[in-house]
Amino acid sequence: MRALTAEDGEVDLAERYAYPPDGVWLRANMVASLDGAAQRDERSAGLGGPADRRLFLLLRGLADVVIVGAETVRAEGYGPVRPTDDWGGVRDGRTPVPPLAIVSRSLDLDFDAPVFTEAREDARTIVLTAASADPARLKAARERADVIVAGEPLLDFQGAVRALAERGHRRLLCEGGPSVLAQMVAVGLLDELCLTLSPQLLGGDPTRILNGPPVPVPAELSLAGALRDDDFLFLRYTRRR
């Protein structure tokens, strides 16, 4: 066992969290309490702090596309990604912001919401859905978003990731929610997990960062980095190859 020692001064987060230079890479960013809860009052925001928010925004800036489930979009009040001053030059040569890619098989989405109507033309919101989606809802989605149909009757996450990569989105960021992340892990798509440990104990029967049936073959990860800010821990794990 080794001590987690403090480093002098601020670290370069953009350098620490840089994506690999080649290939498609799926990263997830999640937060959990010390007893494993992924939400407080049904929102993940209740677990975070200023440093967690800073990292959340930076990871968005580093990504080519941000994948999120429809339930999380509704619960967290998502809008389109906005640029921040902290990004510096991390998006040089790319669109000013990455698009959101919303996962929804039912297409129970408000297509008049800002997440669609306020998205930039060069970062139009994407909808990931299955061929079983209601045709009328699919037509409405195509009027307000770019639509990727993958799988029948369930969404094929591997096919969706391939389609995103074909559009030039090789640096992928998944922000959950827990059911979406569970499905991605189950089919072996997750390359990296960024996990913020919040210094809270909530009790009860909370949702964890994976909300789904047991994974048939548990993914084994290696610790790739650990940072501390006050009482928060910021852990980064990568899949063992």
Domain map of the chain by residue range?
22-29+41-192
User: Which pLDDT belongs to residue 223?
Assistant: 96
Architecture of the domain made up of 22-29+41-192: 3-Layer(aba) Sandwich (3.40)
| Rounded mean pLDDT for each run of 10 residues along the chain, 241 residues in total | 69 93 96 91 78 95 98 92 91 95 95 96 97 95 96 94 97 95 95 96 90 89 94 94 72
User: Which pLDDT belongs to residue 8?
Assistant: 65
User: Which pLDDT belongs to residue 44?
Assistant: 67
- Cα 36 to chain centroid, rounded: 18
Beta bridge partners of 48: none
Residue showing tokens 């799926």: 26
E-strand spans in 70-145? 100-103, 126-129
Which residues contact residue 81 at a Cβ distance below 8 angstroms, ignoring those fewer than 6 apart? 60, 66, 97, 98, 99, 100, 123
Residue showing tokens 């299955």: 130
Residue 123 Cα distances to 49, 65, 116, angstroms: 28, 9, 10
User: Which pLDDT belongs to residue 6?
Assistant: 63
User: Which pLDDT belongs to residue 86?
Assistant: 86
Helix then strand count (H, E) for the chain reads 7, 9
User: Which pLDDT belongs to residue 205?
Assistant: 87
Own/partner contacts of 77-85, CB < 8 Å, gap of 24 or more, are 78/115, 79/114, 79/115, 79/118, 80/114, 80/115, 80/118, 80/119, 80/120, 80/123, 80/125, 81/123, 84/57
